[in-house]
């Protein structure tokens, strides 16, 4: 009963408001949008006909992956196996190439090339070079001893003997004869030349090396006066 009473009261108030707001037919007609009647379809054509589709529409293509809620979900969730297969004959749009990686859907498009470049640079990281003597001298004694281990083998004969023990190789002559050959001046000069060439290559690849900061290095390993 309450619902009917509220409905009647609202209807009366609406009629009063409409009476105070006269609207002509011309004002109403300008807001009317007429829909054309559909053309008559012949009875023969009204029968079901197979839809013509292009080769690109006939094969289902996989769309870009749906954006996930968080980046972690995109990076670590496995791809869904129910996704449609890619069309082998269809051309891939640039937007689809940008979203080929699962994480690409969770970041803005302009971030994708930056992240790809960072991934490539991390995969090609160079091996950490050994610590310098100056760096090791600033460490505490216990840590320095741990880092140095057995220490470098500066003697050519010791280095060759150690390599022979590891590989199981045996000299064609006696050990004493091999030691004398390695300690000869000609072998020592060739060994030093090879060592300087290796150090020069390391310095060329080292971005933190500066000849102005280390003026003695070129004189020692590059033959400068």
Rounded Cα gap, residues 11 and 21, in angstroms: 15
Query: 218 pLDDT exceeds 60?
Result: yes
Whether 159 maps to a domain, the answer reads no
Over the stretch 72-120, which tens digit does the pLDDT of each residue have?
444 444 444 444 444 444 444 444 444 467 888 888 889 999 999 888 8
Q: What is the pLDDT of the chain when averaged over all its residues?
A: 71
DSSP assignment, residue 32? -
Percent of the chain residues past pLDDT 90, beyond the cut: 2
Whether 207 maps to a domain, the answer reads yes
Whether 126 maps to a domain, the answer reads no
Whether 223 maps to a domain, the answer reads yes
Query: 165 pLDDT exceeds 60?
Result: yes
pLDDT at position 89, please?
Answer: 44
Whether 11 maps to a domain, the answer reads no
Residue pair 60/84 in contact (Cβ under 8 Å)? The answer is yes
Q: What is the pTM of this model?
A: 0.32
Provide mean pLDDT across the span 159-171: 82
Over the stretch 18-48, which tens digit does the pLDDT of each residue have?
777 777 778 777 777 777 665 555 555 445 5
Whether 205 maps to a domain, the answer reads yes
Whether 112 maps to a domain, the answer reads no
Whether 139 maps to a domain, the answer reads no
Distance of CA 142 to the CA centre of its chain: 40
Instruction: Name the residue range of residue 214's domain.
Output: 182-225
Rounded Cα gap, residues 162 and 156, in angstroms: 10
Over the stretch 41-80, which tens digit does the pLDDT of each residue have?
555 544 555 555 544 444 444 444 444 444 444 444 444 4
Please state the domain count of the chain. 1
Query: 121 pLDDT exceeds 70?
Result: yes
Over the stretch 187-216, which tens digit does the pLDDT of each residue have?
888 888 888 888 888 888 888 888 888 888
């Amino acid at each position: 009963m309450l619902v009917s009473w509220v409905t009647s009261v609202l209807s009366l108030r609406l009629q009063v408001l409409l009476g105070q707001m006269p609207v002509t037919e011309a004002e109403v007609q300008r807001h009317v949008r007429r829909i054309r009647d559909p053309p008559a379809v012949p009875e023969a054509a009204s029968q079901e006909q197979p839809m013509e589709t292009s080769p690109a529409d006939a094969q289902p293509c996989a769309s870009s992956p749906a954006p996930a809620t968080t980046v972690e979900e995109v990076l670590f969730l496995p791809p869904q196996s129910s996704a449609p297969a890619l069309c082998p004959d269809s051309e891939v749009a640039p937007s689809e190439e940008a979203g080929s990686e699962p994480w690409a859907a969770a970041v803005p498009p302009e971030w994708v090339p930056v992240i790809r470049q960072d991934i490539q640079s991390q995969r090609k990281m160079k091996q950490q070079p050994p610590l310098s003597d100056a760096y090791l001298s600033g460490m505490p004694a216990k840590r320095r001893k741990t880092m140095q281990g057995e220490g470098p083998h500066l003697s050519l004969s010791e280095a060759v003997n150690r390599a022979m023990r590891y590989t199981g190789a045996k000299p064609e002559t006696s050990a004493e004869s091999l030691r004398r050959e390695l300690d000869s001046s000609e072998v020592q000069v060739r060994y030093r030349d090879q060592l300087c060439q290796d150090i020069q290559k390391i310095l060329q690849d080292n971005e933190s090396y500066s000849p102005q900061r280390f003026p003695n290095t070129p004189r020692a390993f590059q033959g400068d006066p």
